[in-house]
Chains A and B, each alone.
Chain A
Amino acid sequence: MSAARDEILQRVRLALRDVPQREQPTDVAVERGYRPTADASREHVIELFVERVREYKATVRIVTAHALPTTIAESCAARGVRRLLVPVDIPREWLPAGIEALRDTELTYAQIDGCDGVLTGCALGIAQTGTIVLDGGQAQGRRVLTLLPDYHLCVVRTEQIVGLVPEAVARLVPAVCEQQRAITFISGPSATSDIELNRVEGVHGPRTLEVIVVTPD
């Protein structure tokens, strides 16, 4: 291959002369003494998720599956959303009547940018950090959908919520390692701390994040 590649690899090998030839990477011990899972009840994990998402100044509502469409309708009405962007595979039963849902059938950036808000599901929620994980799977669509509109309404089912970061990383193994999907971790609305280290919600991504946690009926 390239001369640069050969030379860099040679420099690195020369720099590592002190490493014994027969040493394997796994011979360098990595002690994973940290917590792999949360030591808490399901109720507590879900409560913590709600609390932590709220701390990022995102709105969180908890409803039963039965009440989901009404809640979505209320949220959109409260925001004044007329054109709601949705991924193509959004569950039909989520969508309330009377809302113009724009399905992402190869929409242009301009069309996406022109929407009042976007409605998606998610892959996971992480309680410890109040994080929503998108992996491009069901009801999530491509990455741009949750990026350009100023309002993101996200549905999280309680069984999608895990306790700690290691649990989320483990659950994402098939999506990353087998299906090579793009993953996005979202923790609250877009923010900056660049001016005097004051956190200001809303710079380039959606300035409003609203989460609906759905419990089974």
Chain B
Amino acid sequence: MSRSNSKFHIPLTFQESARAALENTQLRRNLGKATQTIRAKRASVVDELPDWQELREAGRAIKERTLRHLDEYLLQLEAAVQRAGGQVHWARDAIEANRIVAGIVLEHGASEVIKVKSLTTDEIRMNEALGQHGVTAIETDLAELIIQLAHEESSHILVPAIHKNRAEIRTLFMHTLGISELSDEPAELAAVARRYLRTKFLSVPVATSGVNFAVAATGTIAVVESEGNGRMCLTLPEVLISIMGIEKVIPGWQDFEVFLQLLPRSSTGERMNPYTSFWTGVHPGDGPQAFHLVLLDNGRSRVLADHIGRQTLNCIRCSACLNVCPVYERTGGHAYNSVYPGPIGAILTPQLLGVERAGSLPYASSLCGACYDVCPVKINIPEVLVHLRAQVVRHKQTSEGIKGKLDPEAIGMRLLARVFRSPERYEQAQKLARLGQIPFARRGIIERLPPPLNVWTTMRDLQAVPRQTFRDWWRKRRVFGSVPKADADGVGDADGVDAEAAAAGRRNV
């Protein structure tokens, strides 16, 4: 996908992009190795903490408290930042945020800005917007630099170049940075970035960053990182512009005792990330002497309005859900066609953009629930996915008029609803199905159905309707006044179809 695709235009469905990704064996190898490594690291550092579940619960509760009173906390944050010498700007959408940032950069006469990796600035496509004003945004995070040099998109929240291996990175650096001798040792590749960026850090007068947390009571901002490029950007330039989604506010300084334990362990699988910077407005004689904070809505207030979807805003962007997701592990991040990939992206993107623009994403999941188990702020991702699927269907039915009503799935569902509403119709349907399935059912399993029903059976088997249903059995039992032995055991059939089906039925309950 090229950079020119606006985030408001999702060109392909997840299923279409996933198919292409699945054919890329190199990508699958890189991803499989990376996600397995990080899963193991995370599990070992999480197991170290006997109070992990208590920390998760506290993290969730703090976020809930903040979101339920978001307006108050935003006003507190604004006042605190201003008190500490910073300036606060509000942006309703991406265009407004970019206009604010560009305005500040141009006011300081800068033609380049150095940038700390930030998903929020990717979401608003800030680099492109600054480019239109003749300002070059230089990515300083190693992975971001790699994908910037390769003109590619991020494929993972935390390690955006996870889809590339060391050999690919070596070739890229040699071609784009004009280096003739270079090994594929990660340490040597990192050293290339160090040399390349040091002069930029020391000369570019304006930096931009995202925000991991912003404390309402004190105006303190936190940026969590590994390489030191963040500290460079936050410390060396004269001007610092930080862009944050409005959900990143937390009530008090004390809350860091929770989030500083949850975030690093969940994201990189480390006890603590190498560097975390906290600053409060402007510090005389230390760091940038002009600080701007941009508060961005860009669809977040819409997410907030949905009672079930609201918990999505708990997200602290750790990426643990990506690394455990069996779907992400195989398709990679690009298939999601969004800056927010993986399970969190599958619920966040459709809510930010509206289900009409990203309706395929809620289906990018097997609903296995691994993402919910690892989420450090307990976002019930499967619950939100199912909720969004319902919205997708409702949208299809209501907005597409007669076409929506004549959609085969819609007709099927209406029919089913009628059938399920009456016991007589239900039993008749069972009888019909028992007849209809004869050409397809083998040993209680339907492996293939004719179109259009094969949409279901190309990927999974269907349980056949058993020869004897529970209701049949129950009726017989009442008529005879006692339980016939064969039926009670569920073995009423020579080929054992009913027994298997009954067993499968019990498991499903």
Contacts and interface: CB of A to CB of B under 8 A. Distances in A.
Given A129-B272, A169-B253, A16 B304 contact: yes
A200 B142 CA distance: 11
Given A110-B202, A184-B231, A165 B257 contact: yes
B201 interface: yes
Contacts of B57: 31, 33
Contacts, number: 258
Interface string B225-236: 011110110011
Interface in B126-161: 140-143, 146, 159-161
B187 A35 contact: no
Given A15-B304, A192-B226, A194-B146, 18 more contacts: A2-B89, A12-B74, A12-B246, A25-B65, A33-B57, A35-B50, A113-B202, A142-B285, A147-B232, A180-B84, A184-B278, A190-B228, A194-B143, A196-B166, A203-B142, A204-B194, A204-B201, A206-B228
Given A12-B74, A25-B72, A187 B270 contact: yes
Contacts of A166: 257
Contacts of B272: 126, 129-131, 185, 187
Nearest to B68: A19
A196 B283 contact: no
B71 interface: yes
B274 to A, nearest CB: 5
Contact of B34 (A4, A24, A192, A196): A196
5 contacts: A4-B89, A14-B305, A28-B61, A109-B202, A203-B229
B363 interface: no
Contacts of B270: 187
Contacts of B257: 36, 165-166, 169-170
Interface in A144-194: 144, 147, 165-166, 169-170, 172-173, 176-177, 180-194
Interface of B: 30, 33-34, 37-38, 50-51, 54-55, 57-58, 61-62, 64-66, 68-75, 84, 89-92, 96, 140-143, 146, 159-162, 165-166, 169, 186-187, 189-191, 193-194, 197-198, 201-202, 217-218, 220, 226-229, 231-232, 235-236, 246, 251, 253-254, 256-258, 260-261, 264, 268, 270-281, 283, 285-287, 295, 297, 301-302, 304-305, 307
A78 interface: no
A65 to B, nearest CB: 27
B271 A128 contact: yes
Nearest to B33: A196
A7 interface: yes
How would you classify the secondary structure of chain B's contact residues: helix, strand, loop or mixed?
Answer: helix
Nearest to A179: B280
Given A16-B304, A142-B286, A28 B64 contact: yes
A196 B32 CA distance: 11
For the complex of A and B, list the 10 residue pairs with the smallest distance between their C-beta atoms, beginning with the closest.
A205-B228, A15-B305, A204-B228, A11-B301, A166-B257, A33-B54, A203-B227, A129-B272, A28-B65, A194-B143
A40 interface: no
A34 B51 contact: yes
A7 B297 CA distance: 10
Contacts of A4: 89-92, 96
A25 B252 CA distance: 12
A96 interface: no
Given A177-B218, A180-B281, A13 B271 contact: no
B92 A203 contact: no
A25 B73 CA distance: 9
Given A182-B278, A184-B231, A195 B169 contact: yes
Nearest to B34: A197
A15 B302 CA distance: 7
A185 B66 CA distance: 25
A8 B297 contact: yes
B274 A191 contact: yes
A23 interface: yes
A205 B374 CA distance: 31
B190 A12 contact: no
A113 B226 CA distance: 20
Contacts of A16: 68-71, 304-305
A113 to B, nearest CB: 7
Contacts of B92: 4, 7-8
Contacts of A130: 271-272
Contacts of A180: 84, 218, 280-281, 283
B290 to A, nearest CB: 15
A39 to B, nearest CB: 10
A23 B69 CA distance: 9
A97 interface: no
A172 B256 CA distance: 11
Contacts of A52: 271
A13 B69 CA distance: 9
A129 B72 CA distance: 34
A161 B178 CA distance: 47
A136 interface: yes
A170 B254 contact: yes
Nearest to A113: B202
A181 B283 CA distance: 7
Contacts of B286: 136, 142-144, 182
A26 B61 CA distance: 11
Contact of A30 (B58, B187, B307): B58
